[in-house]
Amino acid sequence: MDSAPPAPKDLTPKGSSPWGLARNTANYGDRDFALYLRRSFAKSMGYSQAMLDRPVVGIVDTGSDYNNCHRTLPDLVEATKRGVLANGALPLAFPTVSLCEPSLFPTSMHYRNLAALDTEAMLSAQPMDAAVLIGGCDKTVPAQLMAAASADVPAILLVTGPMLATPFQGERLSACTDCRRYWAAYRAGTVSDEKIAGIEERLATTAGTCGVMGTASTMACIAETLGMMPPNTAAIPAVLAERLRAAEDAGARAAAFAANPIRPSRIITEHAVENALRVLLALGGSTNALIHLTAIAGRRGIRIDLKRLNELSDTTPVLVDLKPTGEGYMEDFHAAGGVPALLWELRDLLHLDPIDVTGTRLGDRLREPAFVDRRYIRARGEPVSPVGGLVALFGSLAPRGAILKRSAATPALFETEARALVFDGLEDLANRIDDPALDVTERDILVLKNAGPLSPAGMPEAGYLPIPKKLARAGIKDMVRMSDCRMSGTAFGTIVLHIAPEAAAGGPLALVETGDRIRLSVRDRRLELLVDENTLAARRAAWHPPSIPARGWDRIVAEQVLQADEGCDLAVLR
Ligand code: FES
């Protein structure tokens, strides 16, 4: 936060449209009766008439006993309400679907669109002049931004903020890059049962989202870059008092929206989306964020072209040195200057016309930061990498594209032609990957299929295929791996993701068999399946699509979900 919230003033919305509790009255065929009934029921909660005469700020409360990343929601809601009340509006908090990454089967991604649909419906149906959306864990922020973009209610995003790293035997630990690093070492036999149990106690010791530049933090930085949250609030750690002041400030600003609304349609523009892509690349951010940003932009009719992503990637340096690709944690990034410092470094690459929730043009808000810690936010002349973290690949194996996080990959594997070792799905992977008799060498390409958005697996973060145990124990730390699923933003390795069309949609990935040759060329942005057309045609004739679930959310997903290059949104929600 680098500017004061607006002072209390007359919030009476302009014009003759209904506002406050009078918005969206229930359809009884008698609008006055509907409002009378609404007031009467609201009074049963103890509100005075003076309170009910105020503009209304809805507060999306995603607190849940299943969501450790949202443990501070009660405090954040209270602080937000304080800001709303002090600035003359009435705060009304309400629950929506809450998604915690490790708590959901088959994967939280399967429910992102459900959370977006729920949030959009409640933003649109309930009476409110503005909203504060409180999220944090990976899928909640994208869902809330998708909802706000579609409902087009003036809204401010507030994140729970990242957890703090914890000292452990001379180093620091935080979820979840260190989880993966130590688990890989445990699988390789270099970490004992006792030590891995001790680490389990120390990986996540405070409230908040994962402490590295994983999906949650990447999406928070993207939300700030898009302009949907006030400047310098993306990275404030969850447990700092500053986080509560950000909540109070968000409440105050949302109250001010009653008289001067700024709708998401004015904020989420093509230029703002391109700025967000630049920041994603400069962060060395999560691959998941590309899917989410595509879905958010899609809600405003803006298409992200993966070929354009490659152009941006080739002209955007990685400047942020945080785990999983670097060394720092989110608390270091915030102390180092956060998103404002990064935007300042990238200023000549950015569009300067987008506005944010404060109504300020990016060009006007770019001021030289008072302090930048160069250990975590590099100068343009000394980047972590001269090119962006993500690259899109195309070819006969991925006609609509695939993604590689080159900043987290092994450059020696960038140009690889090798034999495929194929796993038909997650069960096949689990059953065979550690089989001592598995026919595999470190030069093979591990291929997982049937794990995309349309598959029953629901596009989980399983793209970080484990190195087969016998190779891990021989010291192999990376291999080329590829799939139609996703990878945690906290993971690393030479891993091709989001292959589109996916296997379950009948993409070429469905036809790959063990022993086929595959060529990966990061230099040429190519991913080729080196199998002749006649062989592929014979395999295609024998291929069957997965069966459609009988009912419920799974059926809606199976009939509606789009591919990764379209953000995996539901077709009816675009
Ligand atoms: Fe919630 Fe990582 S599990 S942000």
Q: What is the pLDDT of residues 115-161, one digit of tens each?
A: 999 999 999 999 999 999 999 999 999 999 999 999 999 999 999 99
The number of the ligand 1 atom at minimal distance from the alpha carbon of 68 is: 1
- How far does the centroid of ligand 1 lie from the alpha carbon of residue 64, in Å? 13
Cβ–ligand 1 contact at 377 (below 6 Å):
no
Cβ–ligand 1 contact at 320 (below 6 Å):
no
Query: Is the pLDDT confidence value at 3 over 70?
Result: no
The number of the ligand 1 atom at minimal distance from the alpha carbon of 215 is: 4
CA distances from 238 to 40, 205, 215 (A): 38, 12, 16
Contact residues for 103 (Cβ-Cβ < 8 A; gap 6+): 66, 67
Mean pLDDT of all residues in 445-471: 95
pLDDT in tens, 237-253: 999 999 999 999 999 99
Residue 546: DSSP 8-state: P
Helices (H) and strands (E) in the chain, counts: 20, 14
Cβ–ligand 1 contact at 101 (below 6 Å):
yes
Mean pLDDT of all residues in 224-244: 98
pLDDT in tens, 14-73: 677 899 999 999 999 999 999 999 999 999 999 999 999 999 999 999 999 999 999 999
- How far does the centroid of ligand 1 lie from the alpha carbon of residue 61, in Å? 17
- How far does the centroid of ligand 1 lie from the alpha carbon of residue 215, in Å? 8
Domains and CATH numbers, the chain: 20-164+206-365 (3.40.50.2300), 166-200 (no CATH), 390-544 (3.50.30.80)
Percentage of residues in the chain having pLDDT higher than 90: 92
Contact 423, 449 (CB under 8 A): yes
Cis check: omega of the bond before 324, within 30 degrees of 0: yes
DSSP E strand boundaries for 351-501: 390-395, 398-405, 415-423, 445-448, 481-483, 495-497
Query: Is the pLDDT confidence value at 452 over 70?
Result: yes
Q: If pLDDT is split at 50, 70 and 90, which confidence band does 1 have? A: low
Residue indicated by tokens 């500017």: 3
- How far does the centroid of ligand 1 lie from the alpha carbon of residue 565, in Å? 24
- How far does the centroid of ligand 1 lie from the alpha carbon of residue 538, in Å? 43
* pTM of the predicted model as reported, rounded to 2 decimal places: 0.96
Residue 377: per-residue pLDDT: 97
Residue 359: per-residue pLDDT: 97
Cβ–ligand 1 contact at 213 (below 6 Å):
no
Percentage of residues in the chain having pLDDT higher than 70: 98
Best of 141, 179, 209 for a ligand 1 pocket test (most atoms within 8 Å of beta carbon): 209
Contact residues for 407 (Cβ-Cβ < 8 A; gap 6+): 284, 318, 325, 384, 385, 388, 389, 390
Nearest to 258 by CA among 111, 153, 369, 168: 153
Mean pLDDT of all residues in 432-440: 97
Sequential DSSP letters for 301-315: TPPPPHHHHHHHHHT
- How far does the centroid of ligand 1 lie from the alpha carbon of residue 210, in Å? 5
Residue 10: per-residue pLDDT: 63
Query: Is the pLDDT confidence value at 273 over 80?
Result: yes
Residue 147: per-residue pLDDT: 98
d(CA 257, CA 279): 27
- How far does the centroid of ligand 1 lie from the alpha carbon of residue 69, in Å? 6
Query: Is the pLDDT confidence value at 520 over 90?
Result: yes
d(CA 442, CA 263): 52
The pair phi, psi for residue 526, each rounded to 5°, is -120, 150
Cβ–ligand 1 contact at 141 (below 6 Å):
no
Residue 15: per-residue pLDDT: 72
- How far does the centroid of ligand 1 lie from the alpha carbon of residue 23, in Å? 36
The number of the ligand 1 atom at minimal distance from the alpha carbon of 176 is: 2
Contact 201, 167 (CB under 8 A): no
Contact 249, 1 (CB under 8 A): yes
CA-closest residue to ligand 1 atom 3 = 101
pLDDT in tens, 298-350: 999 999 999 999 999 999 999 999 998 888 999 999 999 999 999 999 999 99
CA-closest residue to ligand 1 atom 2 = 210
Least confident of 14-18, 383-387, 420-424: 14-18
Nearest to 208 by CA among 61, 63, 69: 69
- How far does the centroid of ligand 1 lie from the alpha carbon of residue 252, in Å? 28
pLDDT in tens, 168-224: 999 999 998 889 889 989 988 999 999 999 999 999 999 999 999 999 999 999 999
Best of 174, 210, 218 for a ligand 1 pocket test (most atoms within 8 Å of beta carbon): 210
Cβ–ligand 1 contact at 209 (below 6 Å):
yes
Helix (H) or strand (E) holding 133: strand 130-135
The number of the ligand 1 atom at minimal distance from the alpha carbon of 100 is: 1
Best of 99, 109, 138, 140 for a ligand 1 pocket test (most atoms within 8 Å of beta carbon): 138
Cβ–ligand 1 contact at 210 (below 6 Å):
yes
Cβ–ligand 1 contact at 204 (below 6 Å):
no
- How far does the centroid of ligand 1 lie from the alpha carbon of residue 218, in Å? 11
Cβ–ligand 1 contact at 138 (below 6 Å):
yes
Cβ–ligand 1 contact at 163 (below 6 Å):
no
Residue 388: per-residue pLDDT: 94
Residue 212: per-residue pLDDT: 95
Residue 177: per-residue pLDDT: 86
364-401: b (≥16 Cβ within 10 Å) or e:
ebbeebeebeeebbbeeeebbbebbbbbbbbbbbbebb
297, 488, 564, 493 alpha-carbon torsion, rounded to 10°: 120
- How far does the centroid of ligand 1 lie from the alpha carbon of residue 139, in Å? 9
Residue 11: per-residue pLDDT: 65
Residue 492: per-residue pLDDT: 85
Mean pLDDT of all residues in 425-447: 97
- How far does the centroid of ligand 1 lie from the alpha carbon of residue 220, in Å? 12
129-147: b (≥16 Cβ within 10 Å) or e:
bbbbbbbbbbbbbbbbbbb
CA distances from 563 to 218, 273, 402, 498 (A): 21, 20, 11, 8
Sequential DSSP letters for 463-521: -SPPPPHHHHTTT-----EEESS---TT--SSEEE--SS-GGGT-GGGG--TT-EEEEE
Cβ–ligand 1 contact at 137 (below 6 Å):
yes
Mean pLDDT of all residues in 344-371: 94
The number of the ligand 1 atom at minimal distance from the alpha carbon of 136 is: 4
Contact residues for 318 (Cβ-Cβ < 8 A; gap 6+): 281, 282, 283, 284, 325, 383, 384, 385, 387, 388, 389, 407
User: Across all residues in the chain, what is the average pLDDT?
Assistant: 95
